[in-house]
Amino acid sequence: MLEPERRQLFLETLRPPEGYRFDRAVGTTFTLDLTALLAVPLAFTFRDAEDQDGYLASEPISLLESARRHASRITVFCHGGYTAVPRSGQTALAFLEQSVIAVFPRRRPGRGAVFHPKVWVLRYEPRSSGPVRYRLVCQSRNLTFDASWDATLVLDGALQERRVRGYSLNRPLADFVLGLPALASEPVSSERLATVETLADELQRVRFEAPEGFELSRFLPFGMRRQNPVFPAFQHRPLLVISPFLDGDFLRSIAKARPRAVLVSRREALLKAPADAIDAFSEVYSFRPGLEPEPDDSETELVPLAGLHAKVYVIDDGWNARVAIGSANSTAAGLANPPRNVEFMVELVGKKSRFGIDALLAPEGESGAGTFRSLIERFDTEEAGTVDEDADEQRLERLLDDAAEALARLDLRASVEASGEDRYVQRLELGEAVEWPSEVAKITCWPVTLPAHHGRQLEDGTEFTGLTLPELSGFLAIEVHASVAGQSRSKRFARTVRLVGLPENRLQRLLATMLQDRERLMQLLWLLLAPDDALSFGEFGNMLESEGGAAKWGAAFPGLLERMLEALATEPARLDTVAALLDDLGKTEAGRQLLGSDFRDAWGALWAVRSRQQ
């Protein structure tokens, strides 16, 4: 368990099981990287989403097509004000504007309450026959490219025809999913609500299969409407805690009266924790940063991991061990009853000899090289509490966080108007007046498709002029500048903004803008016609980069005609997407020249057959 060499990339956990295709998904995260979100549809489009060197696909056409194909069926709930601003020019983000929903905890009895779960619920449909299948991915990592040590639990299960009497194990999970839209800062669309309701209903008829050696014990949502269980439970049993962030009062409460209490955390957190709270534990370990397991035999180049971000709780309970994995740190905000945060954990039960505290802490040599114990070292408890937090720095950080959250909650929309041939004005409209503390010096904003130097003061009526179609964006970058006691800092984040007055068929036209020559057109059509998960990005990338690749794509028409005939026979709906694209191209002289008469003639005959099918 938690062996360093057993690394699993996030995209691998999302890919459909053999014989299945992706249907829809709901995910939750605290912080969000929009570029990382762009990578999610790649997992459902390609058998592999990496090139021959092991790097994630970044080719614009493949990103754009995978987002177009799947974004409407991906919904991500994230804490408002903690979405990273992507690099400019990411045209494919336009397809994800409706996928991101900002949420906030319902209960706020104290400062610092956050929406903190890291859960994905995915639904897959069979390609031919078989039951609908579900996957639950519960992890400690956010949807970012952070390269920390994290813990992930993957549960697969088949949808049953009816609920089994008395089977209520999944009810907390279903209630958690169903309750997400109520935390949103703005009304959730009917399409997204329908997805949430479908998943919540069907989850109660899914039998999840626990990992080998385990039984599924409990789903543990915290901070929602459901009454929170005491956690960690079994107060008089041995406990091991792995948590990167710590709270002195909470540490004292969970270590109290236990015959053995073990704590693993980051050295920085242990140095700041109160000494008496650390002394409540019989064993304390710090994570050894910069360690990396021995390379495996695969050809994929893995990014070195650094730092601890996993949240794991292990309780020795007689002959068994209770292991909980998820999002909650050992803090009162995360796990007090009631907690301020929204969190999610999953508890499993297995044999103590395999999964208990001693098994997890087994030294190298007893359980083989590369154990979890090799990543940690004893912490000198006399060092606890020797590093103080800077009060002014903490105040400045809270000020920026509060301002970002207020801006993420702000009633904000944007109107779009044409201002000449293929140019637009995007104008911001504030639904309410806002007053900021005197420490907030300036707030600037810009569409995320533009570089930061285009930023302008955020106010009602702020305009961005001369924008091209790809530069219009429903994601707005915001930067807050503040000063406290001579210290100055800024915080930058992105949020969604409702766009009114967008050009008709905007997303289809965006696809057309990417087609600069016949090669690009052939590449896009090749992707449009390929079935889900039948594509290999590695093969696609090889064709793009191979010697003479341009000539191959230029002469690719016969192969595409064969693909179109195959789609007409097996998945004719794919031709409808092609038709929409070709219709947009045919509206301009440049587009008609790009298509060529040979292509238009063949397409016309094929589309006539498709039209008779409808």
> pLDDT tens, 404-442?
999 999 999 999 999 988 899 999 999 887 788 889 989
pLDDT at 191 over 90: yes
Confidence (pLDDT) at 367: 46
Average pLDDT, the chain: 85
Q: Is the pLDDT of residue 369 over 80?
A: no
Stretch 298-324: mean pLDDT, rounded? 78
pLDDT at 93 over 60: yes
Mean pLDDT along residues 555-560? 62
Task: For residues 208-215, give the mean pLDDT.
Answer: 95
Token readout for 38 is: 């762009």
Give the pLDDT of residue 54: 53
Contacts of 575 (CB under 8 A, 6+ apart): 564, 567, 568, 606, 607, 610
pLDDT attached to residue 552: 52
pLDDT band at 596 (very low <50, low <70, confident <90, very high): confident
Specify the 3-state DSSP secondary structure of 86. Answer: coil
* Cis-peptide, bond into residue 338, ω within 30° of zero: yes
Q: Which residues make beta-bridge pairs with 326?
A: 345
**pLDDT value at position 109?**
42
Q: Which residue has the tokens 């945060």?
A: 341
Instruction: Give the phi and the psi of residue 135 in degrees, each rounded to 5.
Output: -135, 135
Residue 272: alpha-carbon gap to chain centroid: 30
Say yes or no to pLDDT of 394 above 60.
Answer: yes
Question: Which domains are seen in the chain, by residue range?
Answer: 10-217 (3.30.870.10), 239-383 (3.30.870), 391-500 (2.60.40), 515-613 (no CATH)
pLDDT value, residue 110: 46
The string of pLDDT tens digits covering residues 492-506 is 999 999 999 998 888
How does residue 557 score in pLDDT terms, banded at 50, 70 and 90? low
pLDDT the model gives residue 548: 46
Q: Which two structure tokens, joined as six digits, stand for 24?
A: 């829809």
Q: Is the pLDDT of residue 565 over 90?
A: no
Q: Please indicate whether residue 2 or residue 510 has the higher confidence score (pLDDT).
A: 510
For residue 328, CA distances in Å to 28, 266, 333, 418 come to 14, 15, 9, 48
Q: Which residues contact 540 (CB under 8 A, 6 or more apart)?
A: 46, 59, 62, 526, 527
Q: Between these two residues, 545 and 159, which has the higher pLDDT value?
A: 159
> Stretch 225-242: mean pLDDT, rounded?
87
Integer Cα distance of 163 and 445 in angstroms: 50
334-355 pLDDT, tens digit each: 888 777 899 999 999 999 999 9
The conformation of residue 8, written as its DSSP 8-state character, comes to -
Q: pLDDT grade, residue 580 (50/70/90)?
A: confident
For residue 296, the tally of other CB atoms under 10 A from its CB is 11
Which position has the higher pLDDT, 156 or 524?
A: 156
Question: What local confidence, expressed as pLDDT, does residue 342 receive?
Answer: 94
Q: Which of 270-274, 294-298, 436-440, 558-562 has the lowest mean pLDDT?
A: 294-298
Between these two residues, 426 and 90, which has the higher pLDDT value? 426
Report the SS3 class of residue 84.
Answer: strand
Q: Which two structure tokens, joined as six digits, stand for 511?
A: 């696809």
- Distance CA(54)–CA(298), nearest Å, equals 10
Residue 247 — very low, low, confident or very high, per pLDDT cuts 50/70/90?
A: very high
Residues 174-181, mean pLDDT to the nearest whole number: 96
Q: What pLDDT is stored for residue 11 in this prediction?
A: 81
Residue 299: its pLDDT value, please?
39
Average pLDDT over residues 318-333: 94
pLDDT at 546 over 80: no
At residue 43 the predicted structure's pLDDT band, cuts being 50, 70 and 90, is confident
Which among 345, 327, 359, 344 is positioned nearest to 213, based on CA atoms?
359
Model confidence pLDDT, tens digit, residues 259-268: 999 999 999 9
For residue 192, the model assigns a pLDDT of 96
pLDDT category of residue 295 using cuts at 50, 70 and 90:
very low
Read off the pLDDT band of 389 (50, 70, 90): confident
